[in-house]
Amino acid sequence: MDKAQWALNLLNDETFQEVFEDLRGNELNKIINSTYGELELREQAYSRIRVLESIETHLESMAAQKMIDEKRLKIL
């Protein structure tokens, strides 16, 4: 199995999706439930959400690479 297929399988895995949503939800709850003076807590939670988005985007890019390569070969 190549990296593109591995990434696609991971992105389509229900457990993986649930874990990512749980992680994202935990960080959003930290932001929502923080008090006025907990600026650092909100900034950390926001940074973690951005990291999760970055990981997800990278996996989506890996999964799409196989399709991009196939289309490139058809054009040539």
**56-68 per-position pLDDT tens digit:** 999 999 988 877 7
What pLDDT score does 36 carry? 95
Q: pTM surpassing 0.85? A: no
With DSSP H G I counted as helix, E B as strand and the rest as coil, what are the percentages for the chain, rounded to 5?
A: 85, 0, 15
d(CA 38, CA 66): 44
Is the model's pLDDT at 69 over the cut of 80?
Answer: no
d(CA 26, CA 28): 6
Q: Give, as one character, the DSSP assignment of residue 39.
A: H
- pLDDT (tens digit per residue) in 12-63: 999 999 999 999 999 999 999 999 999 999 999 999 999 999 999 999 999 8
